């Protein structure tokens, strides 16, 4: 029931249904502190009323906020103090009706029990219109399984606004914010999505990691007329599409894309505008800009700098289309205008991208004018993949190597540039005024997005990290792990460690031997030494690890992920580590992972691996051919592998999906001796790669080892294997997937 510990400033409004009072005579505020009182207040609310959620935790709170406000007299639902009401556990919010406003709530420490955290509808019959969600936080509100899909916010209805919200850390499958056009009264909706802070979203490792999607291919012939402006997209790395626009008539204006891996993609639908946006990649891998498909799109006045992405993830991509394309493939580009954009140190611009037997329709009736392209190293950054006779180039200016790629339409100029007060680069020579982005472009400040009362992630370095010193005395290492804070370094004094309990890693931790001293020797008595659980990141330095004390059973590992799926990504680094004697039984791996787990990066440097019955890195458990895989980047350098029964690594990514950048694999300056001959090594390979997007294997020595085997699948994979020496080892076997 209601608790009437009401501050004087809150007028008491009668609740006719539940409390026997009369209908409210004065519009006012109703403070509620439990779900039942909330429901009663919603039922009783009239235009102009405010329902105040008491500060504190609202656990398993499935709220429906349905009502009919009036223009200028909305019904408001707000936290008692901004950020004070925290929805945890299995909570969600549905809005339905008209002229509703929600503000000040935080969703944290839980996940939605349905497919949506905040929905602008109660069900398919009752939608929200003219309603607003503002100043709301959703922070890592994720289910335990990364493959379990949900959307954090879904806009239905018309004329809704989603602004000044803070959305950070969506780690599972599903779009962060979706606009649906699935019913007639959700089309031509005029929604406004503005001043939101879309914070870091880690790499998902499959399709379905978009931060914003407007429409779906099925309804893409309809206009959405949604405005997306003044938002920040920071490290939104979920997949190749940061924004997937799949409808017509949308406007993307004055947004900032900061170090985000992916692009704003005009995937389906016509007549969209992308204007005055700022893309800053800072050289981060796979940072991209704008990808253009379909007709009557306008890309004007944007500023793009320091973007490294290529192919569909380039700074600017104009695609080839499919003749008579089905709605879910690629409509040809036609009647597109690309003008007054500035591209500074953008590594790749792709024209007629994706040209192949299916995507054979080249761009037509398209103009590319008054753009400014400057590359500090004077590289030819345009990739031209088909006939671009249908693109008219006029009045552009570019550094000489770019200009030389075209017969006309570009002036060659070294382009001296200086940073203006808005932080962007402009040519110093007034002759080029009118080319590229406008000097009047206002870059949306980060502080103007999200909310002031909930801290944005600190993206800087963590600074000096505390060191905890332990000795080989029984239990000391285990106790240090339990007590460590995230980011701590646990330094092992020299000695023989015997670890009797599994070390569970649920936070970033580094284990290292002390510099300049004899390396600690670690044995373990369980089936694994380390188990990575959600939140864990592990780095090992200058240690000797020996598997001889592990139980005599198959399938041990030095490091394993928990046996169920994890939504949090982990990472692993081994530096100057020696791992040996993993041979008490078969299938003893260095790293073994569970389905539904994902590593951002696995790095092995200057390390030694000897006498191992299984694999060093077993990353091949996603066998459903759905485009899923287990690690984004695997990088091995300067290491030695001797007497390894399994492959040094096996990486598997199956299926035809093209939504991911990874996996990427690099192996360099390492030696392999008697690797891959184990009876249980199915592929009889020293390295087994399937569906890896970028492979670089160079300057390695292979002796008496099984061959490297690479199966190439989708996405124009790049496989570079060179300058390796092969002694009593077969040539690398590299080829496309054989389809039957
Ligand atoms: Ca996608």
pLDDT for 518-561, tens place per residue? 999 999 999 999 999 999 999 999 999 999 999 999 999 999 99
Tokens of 429: 């020579």
Measured in Å, residue 491 CA sits from the centre of ligand 1 at 43
pLDDT of residue 21: 38
CA distances to 14, 43, 99 from 75, rounded to whole Å, are 16, 11, 7
Measured in Å, residue 106 CA sits from the centre of ligand 1 at 27
Measured in Å, residue 235 CA sits from the centre of ligand 1 at 16
Measured in Å, residue 535 CA sits from the centre of ligand 1 at 25
Contact by Cβ (8 Å): 367, 388: no
The residue ranking higher by pLDDT, 217 or 191, is 191
Measured in Å, residue 36 CA sits from the centre of ligand 1 at 40
Contact by Cβ (8 Å): 222, 188: yes
- Nearest-CA neighbor of 182 among 208, 156, 148? 156
Tens of pLDDT, residue by residue over 393-427, are: 999 999 999 999 999 999 999 999 999 999 999 99
Tokens of 245: 């626009």
The residue ranking higher by pLDDT, 639 or 24, is 639
3-class secondary-structure state, position 36: helix
Measured in Å, residue 101 CA sits from the centre of ligand 1 at 31
Chain mean pLDDT for the chain: 93
Is the pLDDT at 11 greater than 60? The verdict is no
3-class secondary-structure state, position 572: strand
Q: Per-residue pLDDT averaged across 231-237, rounded?
A: 97
- Nearest-CA neighbor of 253 among 214, 298, 293, 203? 298
Measured in Å, residue 268 CA sits from the centre of ligand 1 at 12
Tell me the C-alpha distance between 323 and 356, whole Å. 12
Tokens of 625: 């051919």
Measured in Å, residue 250 CA sits from the centre of ligand 1 at 18
pLDDT of residue 697: 97
pLDDT of residue 517: 85
Q: How many Cβ atoms are within 10 Å of 247's Cβ, its own excluded? A: 31
Tens of pLDDT, residue by residue over 552-601, are: 999 999 999 999 999 999 999 999 999 999 999 999 999 999 999 999 99
Residues 6 or more apart in contact with residue 627 via CB below 8 angstroms = 206, 207, 653, 654, 655, 656, 657, 659, 660
Residues 6 or more apart in contact with residue 451 via CB below 8 angstroms = 82, 83, 135, 137, 164, 165, 166, 197
Is the pLDDT at 309 greater than 90? The verdict is yes
Tokens of 655: 């299926």
Measured in Å, residue 157 CA sits from the centre of ligand 1 at 23
pLDDT of residue 27: 57
Measured in Å, residue 16 CA sits from the centre of ligand 1 at 49
Measured in Å, residue 684 CA sits from the centre of ligand 1 at 35
Measured in Å, residue 239 CA sits from the centre of ligand 1 at 7
DSSP annotation string for 412-471: E----EEE-TTS-EEESSGGGTTSSS-TTPPPPPGGGSS-TTSPPP--S---S--EEEE-
Grade residue 739 by pLDDT with cuts at 50, 70 and 90: low
Is the pLDDT at 262 greater than 50? The verdict is yes
Residues 6 or more apart in contact with residue 452 via CB below 8 angstroms = none
Measured in Å, residue 147 CA sits from the centre of ligand 1 at 15
- Nearest-CA neighbor of 520 among 464, 576, 480, 581? 576
Q: Is 456 exposed, middle or buried (0-12, 13-18, 19+ CB in 10 A)?
A: middle
pLDDT of residue 462: 41
Tell me the C-alpha distance between 328 and 294, whole Å. 12
Tokens of 5: 């510990």
Residues 6 or more apart in contact with residue 110 via CB below 8 angstroms = 59, 60, 87, 88, 89, 90, 91, 141
Grade residue 8 by pLDDT with cuts at 50, 70 and 90: very low
Is the pLDDT at 464 greater than 90? The verdict is no
Is the pLDDT at 179 greater than 80? The verdict is yes
Tell me the C-alpha distance between 395 and 200, whole Å. 38
Residues 6 or more apart in contact with residue 10 via CB below 8 angstroms = 28, 29, 30, 31, 52
Grade residue 460 by pLDDT with cuts at 50, 70 and 90: low
pLDDT of residue 205: 87
Is the pLDDT at 332 greater than 90? The verdict is yes
The gap between the terminal CA atoms of the chain, to the nearest Å, is 66
Is the pLDDT at 62 greater than 80? The verdict is yes
Measured in Å, residue 264 CA sits from the centre of ligand 1 at 11
Tell me the C-alpha distance between 282 and 304, whole Å. 10
Contact by Cβ (8 Å): 400, 378: yes
Q: Is 52 exposed, middle or buried (0-12, 13-18, 19+ CB in 10 A)?
A: buried
pLDDT of residue 44: 96
Q: Per-residue pLDDT averaged across 98-114, rounded?
A: 97
Q: Which of 24-28, 174-178, 407-411, 650-654 has the lowest mean pLDDT?
A: 24-28
Q: Which residues pair with 636 in a beta bridge?
A: 604, 667
Measured in Å, residue 185 CA sits from the centre of ligand 1 at 25
Q: Which of 104-108, 473-477, 575-579, 734-738 has the lowest mean pLDDT?
A: 734-738
Q: Look up the pTM and report it.
A: 0.80
Is the pLDDT at 16 greater than 70? The verdict is no
CA distances to 523, 630, 694 from 690, rounded to whole Å, are 33, 12, 11
Contact by Cβ (8 Å): 306, 342: no
Measured in Å, residue 313 CA sits from the centre of ligand 1 at 12
Is the pLDDT at 25 greater than 50? The verdict is no
- Nearest-CA neighbor of 570 among 605, 597, 531? 597
The residue ranking higher by pLDDT, 299 or 626, is 299
């Amino acid at each position: 029931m209601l608790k009437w510990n009401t501050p004087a400033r809150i007028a008491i409004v009668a609740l006719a249904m539940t409390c026997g009072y009369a209908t409210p005579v004065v519009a006012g505020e109703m403070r509620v502190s439990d779900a039942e009182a909330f429901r009663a207040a919603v039922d009783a609310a009239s235009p102009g009323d405010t329902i105040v959620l008491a500060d504190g935790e609202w656990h398993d709170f499935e709220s429906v906020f349905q009502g009919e406000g009036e223009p200028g007299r909305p019904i408001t639902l707000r936290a008692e103090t901004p950020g004070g009401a925290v929805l945890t556990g299995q909570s969600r919010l549905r809005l339905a009706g008209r002229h509703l406003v929600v503000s000040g709530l935080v969703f944290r420490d839980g996940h939605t029990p349905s497919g949506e955290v905040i929905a602008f509808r109660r069900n398919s019959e009752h939608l929200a219109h003219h309603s607003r969600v503002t100043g709301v936080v959703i922070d890592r509100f994720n289910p335990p399984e990364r493959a379990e899909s949900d959307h954090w916010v879904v806009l239905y209805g018309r004329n809704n606004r989603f602004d000044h919200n803070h959305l950070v850390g969506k780690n599972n499958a599903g779009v962060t914010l979706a606009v649906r056009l699935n019913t007639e009264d959700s089309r031509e909706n005029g929604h406004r999505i503005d001043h939101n802070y879309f914070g870091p979203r880690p790499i998902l490792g499959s399709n379905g990691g978009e931060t914003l999607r407007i429409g779906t291919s099925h309804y893409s012939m309809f206009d959405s007329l949604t405005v997306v402006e003044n938002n920040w997209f920071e490290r939104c790395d979920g997949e190749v599409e940061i924004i997937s626009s799949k409808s017509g008539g949308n406007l993307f204006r004055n947004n900032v894309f900061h170090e985000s891996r992916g692009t704003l993609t005009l995937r389906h639908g016509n007549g969209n505008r992308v204007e005055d946006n700022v893309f800053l990649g800072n050289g981060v891998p796979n940072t991209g800009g704008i990808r253009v498909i379909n007709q009557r799109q306008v890309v004007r006045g944007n500023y793009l700098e320091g973007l490294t992405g290529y192919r569909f993830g380039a700074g600017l991509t104009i695609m080839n289309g499919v003749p008579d394309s089905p709605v879910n493939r690629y409509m040809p580009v036609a009647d597109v205008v690309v003008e007054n954009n500035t591209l500074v140190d953008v590594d790749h611009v792709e024209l007629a991208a994706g040209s192949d037997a299916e995507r054979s329709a080249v761009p037509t009736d398209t103009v590319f004018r008054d753009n400014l392209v400057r590359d500090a190293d004077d590289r030819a950054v345009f990739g031209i993949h088909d006939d671009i006779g249908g693109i008219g180039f006029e009045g552009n200016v570019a550094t000489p190597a770019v200009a030389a790629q075209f017969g006309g339409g570009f002036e060659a100029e070294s382009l001296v540039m200086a940073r203006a007060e808005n932080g962007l680069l402009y040519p110093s020579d007034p002759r080029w005024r009118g080319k590229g982005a406008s000097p009047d472009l206002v870059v949306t400040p980060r502080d103007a997005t999200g909310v002031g009362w909930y801290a944005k992630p600190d993206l800087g370095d963590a600074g000096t990290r505390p060191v905890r010193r332990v000795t080989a005395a029984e239990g000391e290492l285990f106790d240090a792990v339990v007590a460590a804070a995230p980011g701590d370094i646990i330094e092992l004094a020299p000695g023989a460690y015997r670890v009797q309990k599994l070390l569970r890693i649920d936070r970033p931790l580094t284990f290292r031997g002390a510099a300049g001293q004899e390396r600690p020797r670690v044995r373990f008595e369980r089936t694994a030494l380390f188990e990575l659980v959600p939140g864990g990141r592990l780095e090992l330095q200058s240690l000797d690890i020996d598997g001889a004390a592990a139980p005599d059973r198959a399938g041990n590992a030095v490091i394993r992920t928990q046996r169920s799926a994890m939504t949090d990504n982990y990472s692993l680094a081994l530096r100057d580590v020696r791992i040996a004697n993993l041979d008490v039984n078969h299938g003893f791996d260095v790293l073994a992972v569970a389905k539904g787990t994902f590593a951002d990066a696995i790095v092995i440097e200057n390390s030694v691996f000897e006498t191992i019955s299984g694999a060093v890195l077993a990353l091949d458990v996603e066998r459903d051919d759905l485009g899923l895989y287990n690690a984004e980047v695997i990088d091995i350098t300067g290491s030695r592998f001797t007497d390894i029964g399994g492959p040094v690594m096996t990486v598997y990514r199956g299926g035809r999906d093209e939504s991911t950048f990874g996996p990427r694999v690099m192996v360099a300056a390492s030696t392999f001796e008697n690797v891959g001959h184990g009876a249980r090594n199915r592929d009889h390979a020293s390295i087994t790669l399937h569906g890896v997007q970028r492979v670089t294997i160079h300057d390695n020595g292979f002796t008496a080892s099984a061959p490297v085997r690479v199966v190439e699948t989708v996405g124009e994979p790049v496989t570079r294997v060179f300058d390796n020496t092969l002694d009593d080892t077969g040539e690398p076997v590299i080829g496309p997937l054989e389809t039957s």
